[in-house]
Amino acid sequence: MVVMRTKSCFTALTEKFIQRTGPDRGTDELAQTLNYYLCDILEGISAGPMDLLVVGDRRRQYFLICGQALDEVCEAEQLANAGEVILSATSWELCEQHRLRTRRLAGKRAVKVTGMDQMSWSECQDALRKLVQHPRSHHLEGEGAMRPALLLPSGPNAHDVLSKYISEAALRKLDDRVPLDLFSELRPVTSLFVQLQLTAGISTVDIRTILHDASRMMLEILCPHKGEINKIFLFDKGCMFLCVFGLGGEKLPYESIHALQSAIQIFNSCSTLLMEIDAVSVAVTSGTVFCGVTGHPLRHEYTVIGQKVNLAARMMVHYPGLVSCDAVTYASSRLPPYYFKELPERKMKGLSHPGTVYQYVGITKKSIFGMGLTKKRSEYAPLLGREKEIDLFDSCLKAYEDLGQRHILAFEGTMGSGKSHLLTELAYLGQAAGHRVVAMELLEVNVRQSFSAIRTLMARALGLQDSEPCSARQCTLQTKLRGTIEESSYCLLNDIFLVEFPVSDKVREMHGTERKKELHSTWAKVLEKTIGGEFGIFVIDNAHFIDPASWSIMSPVLRNVSYFMVMSLAPGYARTEGFCKAAADNTTSQKITYLHLDELKPSAVVQKVCQNLRVDSISRDLARFLIQRSSGIPYYCKELLRCLLCNNMLLFRSRRRGEKAEDNWESLITSAVEASPLAATSSSSVGNDGRVCIIRPDVNPENTVLPTTLKEIALAQLDRIKPLKQMVLKFAAVIGPVFTTQLLSHILPDGVRHKMNCLLDMLVSDNILKWLKTTEVPEDVQDPTKGPGTSWQAESGAERPSPSKKTTERQSGVLVFCVPLLREAAYELWPERQRVALHHKCAAFLERHAHKCRSCSQGDFVAFHRFTVASTQEGGSCQGPADQGDSHSWEALVLAGEQLKKDRTHAPEGALQQQQAFLEEDFGVAGRFLAKSEQTAELPSKTDRKHSSTCSRECKAIVESVLVPLARHYVAIGDAARAFYYLLESVAAYLHVSNSYMALMKLNEAEVLRNSVEKKANVIACFEEATFLSLKGEVCWHMGHVKLAKKMLREALSLLGRQFPRTSIGAFVKSQVEKLPRATYVARRASSLPQEARRKRLAWLLRQSCCLSLLEHLFSLEGTSSGRTFSRLAARMKANTDRAADSYRAADSCHR
């Protein structure tokens, strides 16, 4: 029996998820929903004899079924609507018809099932007994159920046999013992659908032969590109193959080109070599999809699901008989437009905006002669940061001019390091020096096309790319090669230059080997003539893509002629290694200069950004973000900047000169962001009229999604490491750029935790992570696992139990990601639900350390804050190693916090010394605000803010490694209330350590979060709102905005139930009210309340006291009669509030 279940309107459902939550998370939501729910199912049922087909090769095999039952079930499924069950005629005849209520379908033999009589308990038991007694029944472990199944292989070779049916990506994780629930990822992949339209009436034997041959051909084509066949579908009119590039562990650079090349090869091979095929259709799409395990835990498969997969299936049907691709594949391939042809728009079911569709035509007459350098040189903007390379070119060119000796100048650089732009600049300089420059750029497709490099080089040197008719090319060749080769040998150039010289008798009489030898000899003569000194300078971009056949001819010639050649190379290719070894060889080192392109210095990055944006300067936050994320690689910087622009995250303003800003919160934020912008050099800022670019105040660039182009590059690097190490990186990525081993151990699965240290050491040796320090913490260090002391414990002097000696023997480590993009790419691989669960675990661990240091009483930074809101530890308790009294966690978090602060204000580790000095001078914490606050009289307070160096060090670090990450974790979880709570704690902590600038920035984040949830009821508690306003007031005072500070503090007191008057009459009335006795009432009320309510009330009183203290100070600075009146009133109100707070403390002490 065959049952076909189809999800109704699957493509439309996918489209709705994408529109609701975006292309990345929408795919994840869809996959998770399908795994948990099955709704709107179309079900067709048929029965009858079927044939089981096994196809594939020695590496991979696939099984599928075919026969009359399959044809009938396809027909039945097509007749079904959502929620319906259709029986084929054969299955209706074989079933117990008296149990079913059915309805005939007009003109069809199939029937629709409208109801069914339930089997009795005894009938069910009898059916189960017969199933158990069936000779080919097999148990499903763990469930106790049974089903007939194919006989499974047994014996020592069983693993090898079964492995052929499992995806390579899944098999790699299974072999590395990665837990099954961690297989799933959100990955950018390239999907390739192939449809073979079978001839009508084809036999089962022919179907098997076709599928076997097709699968073998496809595997031969796909495997070198790390692609694989994921599924084979057989239906009544043909079969489909779903092929995927970029699954876990199989990501390659230039993936879109690999997929397009594979698609055209598959199309050509299937069209010409397979019989009984009416048509071949291939569609290619690129985008983020769900890659992982779907289905029931006992019966699942490793596959891909997503909008881009559905789009490929639709394109394959709507554009038959050709190779089509979507706009994303077209753009990401970065191939010249003449490789494609735009196709007419067609409406596709379930897809509202499929985008432009292209036909990939592959190599044409226009592309066969290659192309020049594609990067364009700006006449107005100089090439930045490559002065050393340009000077080297000038010196090598002068030596070539003076001595006439051959020389190769080779620049090696990673993808995006600016090799192409550099070669464009050098080609321009060569032309300006009076030399003829022949420039060409090779593509990834050229490395697999025999003689493509030598054809392109000779064609461009001889000027054939501009000779469109065949006769014009023939005339050019005869003119420029006269005397170089014999007339009888011109016909040997027919295939390479697409000309039609008559085949000479001499060539016609040659046999295979002799003809091949003569062919190579002729090409060598042409090449020697081509690259001789009269043609000047040769520039080859991406020389690592020179194909082996071309190099076999070029290499001997290059040893015997005088030339000057400039080329760019990328690491990891055989051609690059060959040039590197030749440059190191004493016999050839004088003829080859080999230079590695370094990353751009931070000053050059700033200039480049100003140049691209056409502004005079950029804000420090924007510069820091781009420098750290790009690691000085120009292409990374360009893509990050493009992402910020596309998402409307940048703001352009004219610099204010003497203009007085408005006295409001928005102006304060803007002026702080604009303060001390980093200016570009005069040459790159001409004509920009003093414009400055800043990050929008309501935007946090740290929350931006990594651009797809950079994600592809990062994943290609990430997939080079083993699955288990990659899994550890993914867990660490959730924590952040700096993490402690205790927190990582807390969130890792139990089965992996014991391997953690070994895996981390391997990742450090791979230069992916770096150890900061291993700490031994003395026994007198506090035990953070007991939880922070409450504010009451801090004031009463309650002591904590000291940690055990066993815990002090353990070591704790802190690690940092060497490449920020790798962390972001690893983080974005997590499906939504798993990611949220991990953020919960991280938050539960960090909340145990969210308090002041021991010297500062270990309480909340906002006094008694935790008692004013619901418990902040509902997300889960901290279990595992952190529960065992590990006293090293606090010290490790302090070390991590110091590194995070350093990363925020300095260059990344490993930068050049000049970079470090640049960032220390220009990217430090905004000193002007701190200096301003130090010149102002210090805020009177019971707490002495001049802490010891140890206290200052620990509190500064904890805000970076605990409080700020906690806010980030809860934002990722979607818990706005808790995120707001920890943003307020962060603000109070920054004020506690006298960092007004960062307090302002975190208040801005809190403002954005508050505005985003404003329409939702009861998200932000009243006390939180009041604390937010009071902290705003304190920051405004630090920034010198006294009037705005008073406004904020009045609003805070109003929410706290303590109105502060605005007029002199109101102040007089309020002062009389404050003189009334109330001590007895307050004491009686305090003793009647339960402990939690007392402490909550105490938090309100302490916050009131803080606001009143600051108001007293601000009004005293006015020096006017009105100011003195309000100052005395604030002092009186504060005194009453402090007395009430003392009563609540006393009541709490009596009831302890």
Q: Report pLDDT digits (tens) over 176-195.
A: 889 888 999 999 999 999 99
Q: What is the chain's mean pLDDT, rounded? A: 81
Q: How confident is the model at residue 269 (pLDDT cuts 50, 70, 90)?
A: very high
Identify each DSSP E strand in 316-384 by its residue range. Answer: 323-326, 340-342, 357-360
- Cβ-contact 712, 188 below 8 angstroms: yes
The pLDDT of residue 919 is above 80: no
For position 941, what pLDDT does the model report?
41
- Give the pLDDT confidence of 1026-1077 residue by residue, as tens digits: 999 999 999 999 888 899 999 999 999 999 999 999 898 988 888 888 888 8
- Give the pLDDT confidence of 446-455 residue by residue, as tens digits: 888 888 888 8
Amino acid identity for residue 43 in this structure: E
Q: What average pLDDT score do residues 44-62 get?
A: 82
Q: How confident is the model at residue 680 (pLDDT cuts 50, 70, 90)?
A: low
Cα(746)–Cα(752) distance, integer angstroms:
11
For position 797, what pLDDT does the model report?
37
Following DSSP, what letter does each residue of 1093-1135 receive, concatenated? Answer: HHHHHHHHHHHHHHHHHHHHHHHHTT-SHHHHHHHHHHHHHHH
| Residue whose C-alpha is closest to residue 1042's, from 657, 668, 666, 659 | 668
Q: What is the pTM of this model?
A: 0.85
User: What share of the chain in percent tops pLDDT 90?
Assistant: 33
Q: Looking at the chain, how many residues does it have?
A: 1152
Q: How confident is the model at residue 841 (pLDDT cuts 50, 70, 90)?
A: very high
> Which tops the pLDDT comparison, 841 or 37?
841
Rounded to 10 deg, the angle between the 820-827 and 620-630 helix axes is 80
> Lowest mean pLDDT: which of 138-142, 317-321, 739-743, 875-879?
875-879
**97: which 2 tokens?**
């018809």
Cα(860)–Cα(1002) distance, integer angstroms:
17
For position 906, what pLDDT does the model report?
62
For position 5, what pLDDT does the model report?
55
- Cβ-contact 321, 278 below 8 angstroms: no
At residue 195, the 3 state secondary structure works out as: strand
Q: What average pLDDT score do residues 789-794 get?
A: 40
Cα(221)–Cα(260) distance, integer angstroms:
11
HSE value, Cβ hemisphere, 13 Å, CA-based, for 356: 11
HSE value, Cβ hemisphere, 13 Å, CA-based, for 106: 0
- Give the pLDDT confidence of 1076-1128 residue by residue, as tens digits: 887 777 778 878 888 888 888 999 999 999 999 999 999 998 888 899 999 99
The pLDDT of residue 131 is above 70: no
The pLDDT of residue 27 is above 70: no
Cα(143)–Cα(1077) distance, integer angstroms:
74
Measuring CA to CA, how many Å separate 112 from each of 1, 89, 250, 485, 793? Answer: 17, 11, 46, 79, 73
Cα(482)–Cα(487) distance, integer angstroms:
9
Residues 572, 578, 580: CA angle, nearest 5 degrees = 80
Measuring CA to CA, how many Å separate 370 from each of 440, 477, 534, 1082? Answer: 7, 18, 22, 88
For position 143, what pLDDT does the model report?
43
Q: How confident is the model at residue 35 (pLDDT cuts 50, 70, 90)?
A: low
- Give the pLDDT confidence of 3-14 residue by residue, as tens digits: 555 554 555 555
- Cβ-contact 333, 374 below 8 angstroms: no
Q: How confident is the model at residue 717 (pLDDT cuts 50, 70, 90)?
A: very high
Q: What average pLDDT score do residues 830-845 get?
A: 94
Q: How confident is the model at residue 660 (pLDDT cuts 50, 70, 90)?
A: low
**701: which 2 tokens?**
């660039």
The residues, any chain, with a CB within 8 Å of residue 81's CB and separated by 6 or more, are: 8, 42
Q: What average pLDDT score do residues 203-229 get?
A: 91
Q: How confident is the model at residue 871 (pLDDT cuts 50, 70, 90)?
A: low
> Lowest mean pLDDT: which of 147-161, 199-213, 879-893?
879-893
HSE value, Cβ hemisphere, 13 Å, CA-based, for 1026: 25
For position 874, what pLDDT does the model report?
44
Q: What average pLDDT score do residues 121-139 get?
A: 68
- Give the pLDDT confidence of 274-295 residue by residue, as tens digits: 888 889 999 999 999 999 988 7
Q: What average pLDDT score do residues 74-82 get?
A: 79
> Which tops the pLDDT comparison, 937 or 704?
704
Q: Report residue 614 CA to chain centroid gap.
A: 28
| Residue whose C-alpha is closest to residue 213's, from 277, 282, 281, 160 | 277
Q: Map 506-568 to HEC letters.
A: HHHCCCHHHHHHHHHHHHHHHHHHHCCHHHCEEEEECHHHCCHHHHHHHHHHHCCCCCEEEEE
- Cβ-contact 827, 730 below 8 angstroms: yes
Cα(687)–Cα(1084) distance, integer angstroms:
73
Cα(439)–Cα(413) distance, integer angstroms:
19
| Residue whose C-alpha is closest to residue 731's, from 189, 30, 171, 179 | 179
Q: Are strands 185-198 and 238-245 parallel, antiparallel or unpaired?
A: antiparallel
Cα(905)–Cα(924) distance, integer angstroms:
5
H helix runs in 572-658, sequence order: 574-584, 602-613, 620-630, 634-646
Q: How confident is the model at residue 100 (pLDDT cuts 50, 70, 90)?
A: confident
Q: What average pLDDT score do residues 500-529 get?
A: 85
Q: What average pLDDT score do residues 904-920 get?
A: 43
Cα(583)–Cα(596) distance, integer angstroms:
12
**55: which 2 tokens?**
């196809």
CB atoms within 10 A of CB 431: 14
The pLDDT of residue 108 is above 90: no
Following DSSP, what letter does each residue of 259-293 receive, concatenated? Answer: HHHHHHHHHHHHHHH-SSEEEEEEEEEEEEEEEEE
| Residue whose C-alpha is closest to residue 685's, from 616, 617, 609, 608 | 616
Cα(185)–Cα(103) distance, integer angstroms:
45
The pLDDT of residue 687 is above 80: no
For position 877, what pLDDT does the model report?
42
The residues, any chain, with a CB within 8 Å of residue 1122's CB and separated by 6 or more, are: 1064
